[in-house]
Amino acid sequence: MSIASIRTRAVAVPVDKPTRMSNRELNVRHYLLVEVTDSDGVTGVGYTYAGTGAGMLAKVAAEDLLVPVYLGADPNDVTGLWEKAFQETLLEGRRGTVIRALSAIDIALWDLRAKRAGLPLVSLLGGSTDSLPSYASGGYYRPDEGDWAEAVVRELEFNASQGFTDHKIKVGGLSVAEDARRVAAASAAIGDTGRLALDANNAYRSVHEARTAITAFERAAGDRGLWWFEEPLSPEAFAGHAELSRTIATPVATGEIHQTRWEFRPLIEAGIPILQCDAGVAGGVTEWLRIAATAATFGSQMAPHWHHNLHVHLCGAVPNALVVEYFAGEKGIYNFEKLLTPETRLEYGGNRVRIPARPGLGIEFDPELVSKFELMG
């Protein structure tokens, strides 16, 4: 048995309405889709988020640099192939889009292995198919939705209507005082029934700035406190995140942009309590599992960024998973599930997400919609 073909497609899916976070505007999301087919005709699917652009860049990285490593190889040799592909990136750069492309291929290989075994990926990895704790993510800045605080409360009410009691909203895109007003409104709306996390998307330029902001936000949340403070600083600020983690009451979370075990090592050694390792960014399933195992040794928990269709399987297979991030399709922000057939989109309820019982990841691309959004070079 060998890898007979690898198909890559770049797609661009528009968001429903103008949206921004602390540091950039958001109007479209680019994804790289990968299909790996073995010599028996079994196909595994993988994917990654390329950004608000760079879909074609990810496709070129996959096809020109990485696909030749995999074609004709044994699809069961996932770890060995990862090492060979990573070595191939030596001159082109072992970060950024190249590693995202490697992630998508690696995910497809794991999906293929699980399908051949007739098992959900979580089961192949030795985990349980029980549902997992989740939270409703969102709280972006949308100027057409009126008063900032009132808009956040309406979104949290929508989350609650879907059964969620835990939530995350953005901060860092307004003044500290205005964001604190949003935090106070959100905290009051949640009450004692759930938790509120804050995501700054690398908004603050120094530890002092970030500490000033979180002090105001903690005051706004009152006795209820905050679940975590996410990505307050630049991803490169390893020492800054470590200092914040030691000196503020709210747990620090980071890692969604970090790639490979080498970038996670300083975060883990610094004792960052919540790691948001994204398998579509960090190096695929293979590297995510390595990072999670190391994090468990040091007492850090995994709360992965995005890709709930994938991360339910990975969180179900490790002992230090904290929670799965969920984006409702109705919000039109994280819009990957538009590319999937409706029956293979993730199910949720009661502040939890359900792991599909179907083999592999349990997802299927909708051919018509993928063709609609596909980018042509």
Tokens 């007003």 -> residue: 181
What pLDDT, on a 0 to 100 scale, did the predictor assign at position 21?
A: 84
Q: pLDDT tens across 182-240, in order?
A: 999 999 999 999 999 999 999 999 999 999 999 999 999 999 999 999 999 999 999 99
Neighbours of 68 (CB within 10 A): 12
Measured between alpha carbons, how far is residue 316 from residues 125, 127, 304, 320 in Å? Answer: 9, 5, 12, 10
Decide: 68 and 24 in contact? Cβ < 8 Å. Answer: no
Please determine, for residue 162, whether its predicted confidence score (pLDDT) is greater than 90: yes
Q: pLDDT tens across 311-328, in order?
A: 999 999 999 999 999 999
Decide: 268 and 294 in contact? Cβ < 8 Å. Answer: yes
Among residues 76, 75, 11, 15, the alpha carbon closest in space to that of 47 is found at: 11
What pLDDT, on a 0 to 100 scale, did the predictor assign at position 22?
A: 86
Q: pLDDT tens across 1-36, in order?
A: 999 999 999 999 999 887 888 888 889 999 999 999
What pLDDT, on a 0 to 100 scale, did the predictor assign at position 364?
A: 98
Kind of pairing between the strands at 167-170 and 132-137? parallel
Q: pLDDT tens across 61-113, in order?
A: 999 999 999 999 999 999 999 999 999 999 999 999 999 999 999 999 999 99
Among residues 323, 331, 351, 356, the alpha carbon closest in space to that of 341 is found at: 356
Kind of pairing between the strands at 274-275 and 301-302? parallel
pTM over 0.85: yes
Confidence of residue 377 (pLDDT cuts 50, 70, 90): confident
- The overall average pLDDT reported for the chain is 97
Confidence of residue 148 (pLDDT cuts 50, 70, 90): very high
Please determine, for residue 52, whether its predicted confidence score (pLDDT) is greater than 80: yes
Domains of the chain: 3-118+367-373 (3.30.390.10), 123-354 (3.20.20.120)
